[in-house]
Amino acid sequence: MKKLSVIAIVSSAAFLMQACGDDVQRKPSRVYMPDMAYSVAYETYSDYHSRLGDSIFYNARPVAGTVKRGEEAYHYEMLADTTGSYDKSAAMKNPLPQMDAEQLTEAERLYLVNCGVCHGQKLDGNGPLYKGGEGPYPAAPANFIDPKAGGGKYYAMAEGTMFHSITYGKNLMGSYASQVTPKQRWMIVSYIKSKQALQTAQSTPVAAAAAAAPAAKDTTKK
Ligand code: HEC
């Protein structure tokens, strides 16, 4: 009787161990009712092709012409009419209130991280990727700080147009929509505009005197 139970224990242990073996995992048995084992609804990164065929294609992009909740309706208009969208963008107003010093610092950081490599730390269109034509990037990026650059168009450029170009790209500049959120885009635009305003202030005699005054104070402190 004892012998029998020993045999039973050993053989059932062997059976169980065999069930855990590699062999079994490599050759899974048939799935009964696969709908229960695998979700029919396709998931973001799941291998749906093998099961659903090629009829459903998920490319992680929003459906053309749709707007994310909370996103400006501007996108909808732009997508609906891509031909005149560049000109229309000038009418778009920057929704952000005047930035404080902290926000300006953050805007500068965003600019330096995303744009400075081409447009330059000084906004002079001469970042390390371009380097006056010697860098690896072939096209001259816009010079935002020289009032005469591009026939003065970057000083005259509406904030909405800048936003549009960052969102959809312009000629050789690609879209930065996936790198910077709409709010961050407006912050960067405000930053560029604030730098331009500072440059204008410094180059007009009266304002230059005013701007020089604090600097003079600084030197006396030293
Ligand atoms: C890889 C280099 C590169 C980067 C990075 C880059 N740009 Fe540009 N950008 C360009 C070039 C080149 C042009 C000139 C395009 C033209 O007018 O042909 C340009 C033009 C522009 C213009 C003027 C567009 C117009 O309507 O004429 C704006 C505004 C601008 N860039 C903003 C940005 C901002 C903001 C960022 C960062 C989020 C950025 N760019 C990042 C290369 C770059």
Tell me, in angstroms, the distance from the centre of ligand 1 to residue 10's CA: 74
Q: How many Cβ atoms sit within 10 Å of the Cβ of residue 112?
A: 16
pLDDT at 53 over 60: no
Q: Quick check: CB of 89 below 6 Å from ligand 1?
A: no
Atom of ligand 1 nearest to the CA of 86: 26
In angstroms, what is the C-alpha Rg of the chain? 31
* Residues 141/120, Cβ–Cβ less than 8 Å: yes
Average pLDDT of the residues of the chain: 79
Q: Which amino acid is at 100?
A: D
Task: Tell me the average pLDDT across 182-186.
Answer: 92
Least confident stretch, 28-42, 94-108, 151-165 = 28-42
- For the cut 90, the answer to whether the pLDDT of residue 175 exceeds it is no
* Ligand 1 proximity of 195 Cβ (cutoff 6 Å): no
Which pLDDT score is estimated for 219? 46
The closest residue, in CA terms, to atom 29 on ligand 1 is: 162
> Which atom of ligand 1 is closest in space to residue 153's alpha carbon?
27
Q: How far apart are CA 114 and CA 127, in angstroms?
A: 11
